[in-house]
A and B are shown apart, each in its own frame.
Chain A
Amino acid sequence: MNQREVFITEVALRDGSHAVGHSYSIEQVKSVAQALDEANVPYIEVSHGDGLGGSSLQYGLSMTDEMELISAAVSVCKNSKVGVLLLPGIGTVEHLREAENLGARMARVATHVTEADVSKQHIEVAKKLGMETVGFLMMAHMVSTEKLVEQAKLMENYGADTVYVVDSAGALLPHQVKERIRALREHLTIKIGFHGHNNLSLAMANTLAAIEEGATMIDGSVRCLGAGAGNTQTEVLIAVLERMKIKTGIDLYKMMDLAEDVVAPLLDKPQEISKGSLVLGYAGVYSSFLLHANRAAKKFNVDSRNILVELGKRKVVGGQEDMIVDVARELAKK
């Protein structure tokens, strides 16, 4: 096996949960995870789109219990580590313990970019359980680099092995990613990661900017199977990095095959930058709001773009899906 220089986390089985309305089945997860394991992807994230405990009326109920999906993924992985996402306030340390017990080996603890201190309890428990632990600072476009560094340092102090800059809205521009990753490299001693969304067609450019500045933990989703317009397309990223002579240890042909033969059939239609997802990036709104906004737009007969732009103006953060109906209702009254 080649030595890896960049470590890829495949998020289609977590972020992609948004795109398929949280409908993953055990068979689907097994077939995707097995193919990813065979392609030698180091990390595979499996959870409800909003992390452990996310199955809810607020975000959408999981068709299959995520713990069963985690078990299914673990059962077919020989080398890949299965990871889970947890948002404090939604999931709890009990969910984390349960997932670890089922074989999850990486915990990614996600907070809004200004609220890192709610992750202390969960990062510490994950470390105690012996899990590789990631602090995941979401909606990173909403604050200055100084604020981001301050919050990342908190997560470093709690014991995280890596801190991620998470562009949940797909709103960051390449020079902003560079600046953020560079500042984290300067001020932190732990690994730095980047998670992009392709709403402005910048996921690849942003990811390369991040790698250039020293990020070594990178998220992607095969076929862009993630919220909004999806994430950095993993199989494409592997090819690009190979051209750049950056080692990921992942088998490119196997990735291309699984993207085409295993993942593409999961999607009702190919992921593309629709006007809705474009507005997510443009207005700086959490990517998982897209399908909820489309539904609310239909129900209240308003333009989903107006809903998303208004949500952006109100500085709504990840998890506030209930605001979508509220705003749609208000717009309909006007």
Chain B
Amino acid sequence: MPKLKVGIIGSGNIGSDLMLKLCRSTTLELTTMIGIDPKSEGLNRAKKLGIHVIENGIEGFLKNPDLAEILFDATSAKAHIHHADLLNKIGKKVIDLTPAALGPFVVPTVNLREHVDVKNVNMITCGGQATIPIVHAVNQICEVEYAEIVATIASRSAGPGTRANIDEFTVTTSKGIEQIGGAKKGKAIIILNPADPPIIMRDTVYCLVDGDMDEARVSQSIYDMVSKVQDYVPGYRLRSEPIIDGNKVTVFLEVEGAGDYLPNYSGNLDIMTSSAVKVAEELAKVQLSNKV
């Protein structure tokens, strides 16, 4: 089967983790790693892996646009706004892992197929990727009036970008809970825990539903959803059975990373990169079948 050529913009933690995941893909061929710091560990690693490296950012790629059809943007919201415009002009698809949220939100298990034709899709946040599937699972059985999520991540796995703009996490995740999860109102909280050894990412989802709840069906819907997410994030799991109390559902989750570039505790970064790869693979299938 032919593979679709892809590239990564950004050679930090997320870009480097994406690189290792893409090397395993059966539908995507990682051809290019785009950075701005020739000394960065990410670019050096790419060189060792035999991937074409561009050291002068997006400008370098624009001179060689045939290197990739889909670009992953793992830079910052601000840089992404610049990249998105340039890449749109030359007809490239972009999977945005920054909080820029220019394009529609995508969660692979919920709305992937709706946006296969869109030029720019946004991966929301790590907390969103971990919790929106659960909100959606509950909402399929009974209407979710209010959903609230609490993401607790190891301090070491929160990079300087996340820290400088922590409001972007809460605001973007809340929107995702509403727009993609289907809750009438959403709220997101993020907590950084500095414990050493670092804690594995934990997410708690609370849903308040309208009317009577068929407990068995709600639980089953959650179990089904967890197994769907596990298809692309193997370390995604329930810490306990869902707790149902009146009209409130509480779900405790844990996300252990695959330990590619980042250690296992960084489930928050792993779920972002895994979800982004999943989205690109789906886009690639469509794009490749269109060509035939």
Given A56-B189, A89-B189, A326-B252, A121 contacting B195 (CB threshold 8 A): no
Q: Provided the pairs A57-B206, A89-B170, A92-B167 are in contact, do residues A112 and B192 lie with their beta carbons within 8 angstroms?
A: yes
> Which A residues touch B25, using CB under 8 A?
none
| Chain B CB within 10 Å, residue with most, of A57, A93, A117, A120 | A57
Contact present for A121 and B192 (CB under 8 Å): no
B288 to chain A, nearest CB (A): 41
Please tell me if the beta carbons of A121 and B166 are within 8 angstroms of each other in the complex.
yes
Scoring B residues 152 to 193 as 1 if CB is less than 8 Å from chain A, else 0, what string do you get?
100100001001111101110000000000000001011111
Name the contact of B148 in the complex, choosing from A57, A88, A92 (C-beta under 8 A). A57
Q: Which of A90, A94, A120, A315 contacts B193 (CB 8 A)?
A: A315
Q: Which of B191, B193, B202, B239 counts the most chain A CB atoms within 10 A?
A: B191
Please give the residue numbers on chain B whose beta carbons come within 8 Å of chain A beta carbons, in ascending order.
146, 148, 150, 152, 155, 160, 163-167, 169-171, 187, 189-195, 202, 204, 206, 208, 239-240, 243, 248, 250, 252
Segment with Cβ contacts to B, from A27-35, A302-310, A316-324:
A316-324
Interface residues on A, range: 20 to 34
Residues of B near A121 (CB, < 8 A) are 164-167
Query: Which 10 A/B pairs are nearest by Cβ-Cβ distance?
Result: A322-B204, A315-B195, A57-B206, A114-B194, A92-B167, A89-B190, A319-B191, A118-B166, A88-B166, A117-B163
CB pair A89 B193 closer than 8 Å: no
How far is B128's CA from A90's CA once the two chains are assembled, in angstroms? 15
| Contact, CB under 8 Å: B239 / A326 | yes
A317 CB contact (under 8 Å) in B148, B171, B193, B240: B193
A127 at the interface (CB under 8 A from B): no
A329-B208 Cα distance, complex, nearest whole Å = 21
| Residue positions of A touching B, CB distance < 8 A | 56-58, 88-90, 92-94, 112, 114-115, 117-118, 120-121, 314-317, 319-320, 322-323, 325-326, 329
Decide: A88 and B167 in contact? CB cutoff 8 A.
yes
> Using Cβ atoms and an 8 Å threshold, which residues of chain A touch B169?
89
Q: Give 26 pairs: A residue, B residue, CB < 8 Å, sorted on A.
A: A56-B189, A57-B206, A58-B189, A58-B206, A89-B170, A89-B189, A89-B190, A89-B192, A92-B167, A93-B167, A112-B192, A112-B194, A117-B160, A118-B163, A120-B163, A121-B165, A121-B166, A316-B193, A317-B191, A317-B194, A319-B191, A320-B191, A322-B152, A322-B252, A325-B250, A326-B252
Q: In the complex, A118 Cα to B193 Cα: how many Å?
A: 13
Contact A57 B165 (CB under 8 A): no
Additional pairs, 12, CB under 8 Å, beyond known A117-B163, A325-B243: A89-B170, A114-B155, A315-B193, A315-B195, A316-B193, A317-B192, A319-B189, A319-B191, A322-B152, A322-B252, A325-B250, A326-B239
Given known A-B contacts A56-B187, A326-B239, A115 and B204 have beta carbons under 8 A apart: no
Q: How far is the CB of B173 from chain A (nearest CB, A)?
A: 11
